[in-house]
Structure 1
């Protein structure tokens, strides 16, 4: 099944505000509101309501915490291979359009390592986790809810190395959160007042420069 999309005007929108991250700038949490072009974002929202969601996905750190999931690019937490071609095979072409836009926001050596959507309803819990154990990767998390109220909860919380909360980000409309993939984080439970689906599109990105630095460090340790 293929879902038609409205014209995105991508040729006029990609990278118009410059890159999200300059080369090597991967260590801080960044939040961008309204950054994704409106037509791309609107199509992503619409398709997120049409795809087949599968319940039962979990975080390895707590297999009992289950939620909704839709796979797009495959790969896993340890994956180092680019899955961009897999994303292009998805019947909803808007994911490939968003992928192209997102890659324009990062250095040329950027690779797509994971690409999927998660969703939560009242009663489904997230759990503190990292998206990878490797240093240098970045997660781009896009919230796909048209509106959000603070009373609904559902914020993404970020933790420091001591387990203390350092930041809480509400899933606002067209909000893109970029953070180190190895930083501990968790989606917080939804309140009973929310009766919809909290949807996030998650993309993990890797960089050739980070791979080279890691290899050099490992080589130096081995030589030492």
Structure 2
């Protein structure tokens, strides 16, 4: 076991091991034995902290999104609602990088979720990732709706719209592109946010 794990309590060891496994393979099944072995804890200890695999998976995905996307940004009223929402969406795209890193991320997703007929395990892994992403975007829109920055409307349609934009931009990052890809991406994000905020969607 590395020093990285030795400094942590058993619950945090389990979470770190599981996050690394998901980071290496988004479609990985978080088996009790596999995670416990990687974390250097007993299966009983893992089950004490996370009685079901679903509880472990949900906690891991929440933590991963917390690392990638700061919840606090959407609440910073010193910045315009428009800029806050674009910043939050931009944070979702940032970890994939551009070019080689984005191609690798797209390759992993393609191999895990598209290449072959998905098993039930793969479906559950994908739905868990998708649900956590959806929950985050829905939270941002709810905050801005409560502030009056977005008109009341069909939040679900707006979430679908923004997630579709993010998926397209993530794929675009992996394709051969001009040097101005991030500028073009920024313009697209602002157009999408403007559509949501002007009630063009929902």
Q: Looking at CA atoms only, which structure, 1 or 2, has the larger radius of gyration? A: 2
Q: TM-score, normalised by structure 1?
A: 0.29
The answer to which structure has the higher helix fraction is 2
Q: TM-score, normalised by structure 2?
A: 0.32
